[in-house]
Amino acid sequence: MNAPVVEVRSVSKRFGRVQANDNVDLTLSAGEVHALLGENGAGKSTLAKILYGYTRPDGGEILLGGARVELHSPRDARAHRIGMVFQNFMLIPALSVLENIALFLSDLPAIIHPRDVEKRIREFGERFGLVVDAHAPVRQLSVGDRQKVEILKLLLADARVLLFDEPTKVLAPHEAEALFCVFDALKADGYAILFITHKLREVIRCADRITVMRQGRVTATFEKRDADVDTLVEKMFGSASHGAVIAPPGPQIPRYARNDILELRNVSANATGSETTLRDLNLNVHAGEIVGVAGVSGSGQKELGDLILGMRPLARGTKLFCGEDASSWSIARLRENGVAFIPEDPLGMAAVAGMPVRENLSLGTGSRYHHHLDIDWRALESAMTASFTALEFPMPPLDRSVATLSGGNVQRAVIAREMAHSPKLIVALYPTRGLDVRSAASVRELLRRACDRGSGVLLISEDLDELAEVADRVLVMFAGSIAGEFARARWTADEVGHLMTGSTEVHLV
Amino acid sequence: MSEATLPRLTVRYSAIGGAALAMFALILLVAGKDPLKAYIDTFHYTLANAYGFSELLVRMTPLLLAAVAVALPARLGLINVGGEGQLYMGAFAASAAAFAMPQAPAWILLPFVALAGFAGGALWAAVPGVLRAAHLVNETISTLLLNYVAPLVVSYFVFGPWRSTESSAYPQSSQFPEAALLPSYFNTRIHAGLFIAIVALILYWLLVEKTRWGIDMRAIGGNAEAAKRLGIPVSRWIVIALAAGGGFAGLAGMGEAMGIAGRLRQGLSPGYGFTGFLIAWLAGGRPLAILFMAFLFAVITSAGDTLQITQGVPYAVVNILLAMILFIVLARQSARRGAK
């Protein structure tokens, strides 16, 4: 192995309460593809952004070619011949490929000689398998071709270290394969490539070395030949419990008769843009049961939640709510019949910042408090007070605008509203994401209690520990389908992790 | 929002008006006119004179309705720039109603004509509403563009089917039947449209602030994503709010046709629809502020007439005054934002 061109030594970075990078060490050599593997939120992107000068680390140092450097901005990084391909491309759709690339070149003369640039684009393109029409406007290009333009931009700007932040997320499988061929060609030419992903198959396909991150720390670095899927999954999803049952045993007999609150039969849904197509889903949620949905982001969990909530139409199949065909029910009708929603981002998805708390509490309560043309505010207030009390939440002043409440209090207000009418089904979409440990625990506790009172809960989460703690059953989603289903205490992080990353075929209990 | 009491608003807007008048005085000076005399004349012919004052109220009538036409959809975050076109279509539909039942008594014909005026504007605005609700066309663009179509519809009818036979020189319809005309009062041109406008303003306030429908609409304006997730029928409200707004503008057109002109004419409105947009926007959608702003704009546009006659400056100079008021309000808002 050559001497490393990039060396990261105990770099740390903290965002508020989150330790995004914790004493991270990493080396990257010329002529290698180094995969950076980890779950969402493991700190991979943060590390890449630090290397690109986009984020300043709190501590640690970065060495380039053995010399210590301070990267204050992406401009510094580019001057050190580091380039980055972002998840969202930085291209101007109306301009041609040539113009987009020319804009990025710092050594460009005031008067551009398009032919020179074009020649270089062709040279690089042919050498590395990055052939695109230099005169086509970027808006006409496929996603895969746009990514080629991004790479060409960096190559023409003389970058030798290339950082790829989840480059395959937006690509179709054949495009991803083409990208790996590009990696091979670049590697052969001595470029150093850092490849961020959470898909194991891709890592096995193209990486020379693999660094696994978990919760901001590097948990392992492997040579490709030493790595196998099992070890990687273990390092990604948690350590101690490899092969062991991590869920505590729960009650074996359902506390309620197995009434289906929600049932999906062969449900499919179409997708546009970056959404995930849902294929042939079958699931049910009983009264008094918490069904967890696990999956890496973009596997279709959000789409599934929206489909159940009535935000998204079914293309095929049937959605039954308490035995009734609710496939075409409106959001309002579902809510009126007892569907509640606990969102990831209450201020964005379930509250109106500019309106007072009182009015926010009335939103989405259907016709319960209608009083002629107005709302029976007294009845609403007493119902909401009862709900706040039952949840042991402090009641915020009703006349205050929601914009003035803290994030935690906004979430409490939303939860109190959603729980006020003993919902039959609670759809919780990443309800604890971004919460501190205590708040997260109290959200889990309230889901548990709602469940004890007979609600059915669908808990969509990325946190396997959370699912192990509260879910009676866990469904694993991958690429818009349900890849597996496990009963409480009958699964390991290992098995679920395999299914989440698509590294094993479907197997059901 | 701070408490917008009447005295506070009066002080605030008088200060804005005063500052604008002071700057406008400079311009008159530069033009070689006597600003003091110009202002005294204007005051004399408008505010201090019974007839002049009645004319202010006449002007204020369509402005109030056109402002409500903008303010209502704005509560949902919709930008209705189409007041002018909706006003024309209201006048057109009201005229059609009046010509359809020439023999009907006033107690039937007047409500029918008013309803038709509302419906004309409402249907015209519903088109952009439907397009927006279906995520096809942005309502700002479609309402704006329809402004160029509506006057052509009116032109077609006053040049063609409805053209008056009495005087062939002037493109206008024949007189409406007597029973279709809005009653006027005190021997002035103040007509029943003023009451319609004030009722419309009160309805707007009640609807937005005092009903659960208002909460739905404001929720959409505040966070459309959350509103949708909470089961508020967002698309339906978009169509309804734009149509209702268009209806109010249509009533303004009806008032101009049935209360002032007595017949359908080509140049029905000197841009009341656009001025209404400015009023609604400057007033931030607050009903009392709309009332005040509509009055202020009536004064300013009347001042244009006076200045033209007494000082010999072109009517268009009042546009300078309007622009100055806009600038001052804008500057005040940015200053307040900067202070935060």
Residue-wise pLDDT for B129-175, tens only, equals 999 999 999 999 999 999 999 999 999 999 988 888 776 677 888 88
Query: By CA distance, what is A331's nearest residue in B?
Result: B231
Confidence grade of residue A379 (pLDDT, cut at 50, 70, 90): very high
Which residue would you say has higher pLDDT here, B45 or B256?
Answer: B256
Query: By CA distance, what is B221's nearest residue in A?
Result: A352
Confidence grade of residue B290 (pLDDT, cut at 50, 70, 90): very high
For A14-69, the pLDDT digits (tens) are 887 778 899 999 999 999 999 998 876 788 888 999 999 988 999 999 999 889 99
Query: By CA distance, what is B213's nearest residue in A?
Result: A373
Query: What stretch of H or E contains A84?
Result: strand A82-85
Confidence grade of residue A258 (pLDDT, cut at 50, 70, 90): low
For A148-158, the pLDDT digits (tens) are 999 999 999 88
Could you write out the DSSP letters of every residue in A368-422?
A: TTEETTEE-HHHHHHHHHHHHHHHTPPPPPTTSBGGGS-HHHHHHHHHHHHHTT-
Closest by alpha carbon to B252, among B184, B182, B152, B161? B182
Q: How far apart are CA A254 and CA A289, in angstroms?
A: 8
Share of chain A above pLDDT 70, in %: 92
CB-based contact (8 Å) between A334 and chain B? yes
Q: Tell me the nearest-neighbour CA distance from A270 into chain B, angstroms.
A: 18
Q: Is there a contact between A373 and B231 if contact means CB atoms under 8 Å apart?
A: no
Average pLDDT over residues B61-66: 97
User: Regarding beta strands A260-269 and A374-375, do their DSSP bridges make them parallel or antiparallel, or are they unpaired?
Assistant: unpaired
pLDDT of A240 reads 42
Q: How far apart are CA A55 and CA A113, in angstroms?
A: 35
Confidence grade of residue A504 (pLDDT, cut at 50, 70, 90): low
Q: Is there a contact between B215 and A349 if contact means CB atoms under 8 Å apart?
A: no
In this complex, which of B222, B225, B228 lies closest to A354 when CB atoms are compared?
B222
pLDDT of A161 reads 94
In this complex, which of A336, A349, A373 lies closest to B225 when CB atoms are compared?
A349
Helix, strand, or coil (residue A279): strand
Which residue would you say has higher pLDDT here, A494 or A103?
Answer: A103
pLDDT of A45 reads 86
Helix, strand, or coil (residue A211): strand
Sign for the pseudo-dihedral over CA of B147, B153, B154, B158? positive
Q: How far apart are CA B142 and CA B150, in angstroms?
A: 12
Radius of gyration of chain A (CA): 26
Confidence grade of residue A254 (pLDDT, cut at 50, 70, 90): very low
Confidence grade of residue A173 (pLDDT, cut at 50, 70, 90): low
Helix, strand, or coil (residue B252): helix
Q: How far apart are CA A55 and CA A388, in angstroms?
A: 41
User: What is the arrangement of strands in the sheet containing A161-165, beginning at the earlier edge strand?
Assistant: A82-85, A161-165, A192-197, A33-38, A209-214, A217-223
pTM: 0.75
pLDDT at position A300 over 70: yes
Q: How far apart are CA B179 and CA B114, in angstroms?
A: 12
Dihedral angle at the C-alpha atoms of B121, B122, B124, B130, nearest 10 degrees?
160
Q: Is there a contact between A343 and B229 if contact means CB atoms under 8 Å apart?
A: yes
Instruction: Pick the residue of B210, B218, B230, B236 with the most A CBs within 10 A to test the interface with A by mutation.
Output: B230
Closest by alpha carbon to B249, among B59, B67, B56? B67
For B299-321, the pLDDT digits (tens) are 888 888 888 888 788 877 888 88
For B168-215, the pLDDT digits (tens) are 677 888 889 988 899 888 888 999 999 999 999 999 999 999 999 999
Q: How far apart are CA A301 and CA A269, in angstroms?
A: 12
CB-based contact (8 Å) between A299 and chain B? no
For A387-416, the pLDDT digits (tens) are 999 888 889 999 999 988 887 889 899 999
pLDDT at position B254 over 80: yes
Partners of residue A339 in chain B, C-beta under 8 Å = none
Closest by alpha carbon to A307, among A261, A264, A274? A264
Instruction: Pick the residue of A309, A352, A355, A368 with the most B CBs within 10 A to test the interface with B by mutation.
Output: A352
Q: How far apart are CA A187 and CA A177, in angstroms?
A: 15
Q: Tell me the nearest-neighbour CA distance from B221 into chain A, angstroms.
A: 9
Answer yes or no: are the C-beta atoms of A340 and A429 closer than 8 Å: no
For A348-362, the pLDDT digits (tens) are 899 999 999 999 999
CB-based contact (8 Å) between B278 and chain A? no
DSSP state of B101: -
CB-based contact (8 Å) between B226 and chain A? yes
Q: How far apart are CA A492 and CA A349, in angstroms?
A: 33
pLDDT at position A235 over 70: yes
Q: Which two tokens stand for residue A344?
A: 């990831």
Partners of residue B77 in chain A, C-beta under 8 Å = none
DSSP state of B179: G
Average pLDDT over residues B9-24: 79
Share of chain B above pLDDT 90, in %: 56
Closest by alpha carbon to B192, among B263, B121, B256, B259? B259
Q: Tell me the nearest-neighbour CA distance from A256 into chain B, angstroms.
A: 29
Q: How far apart are CA B60 and CA B44, in angstroms?
A: 18
A272 Cβ neighbours under 8 A, 6+ residues apart: none
pLDDT of A248 reads 46
Q: Which two tokens stand for residue A473?
A: 């059953």
Partners of residue A362 in chain B, C-beta under 8 Å = 212, 215
What average pLDDT does the structure give for chain B? 89
pLDDT at position A165 over 80: yes
Sign for the pseudo-dihedral over CA of A91, A93, A97, A102? negative
Could you write out the DSSP letters of every residue in A438-467?
A: HHHHHHHHHHHHHHHTT-EEEEE-S-HHHH
pLDDT of B308 reads 82
Partners of residue B227 in chain A, C-beta under 8 Å = 352, 363
pLDDT of A488 reads 86
What average pLDDT does the structure give for chain A? 86
Partners of residue B2 in chain A, C-beta under 8 Å = none
Share of chain A above pLDDT 90, in %: 50
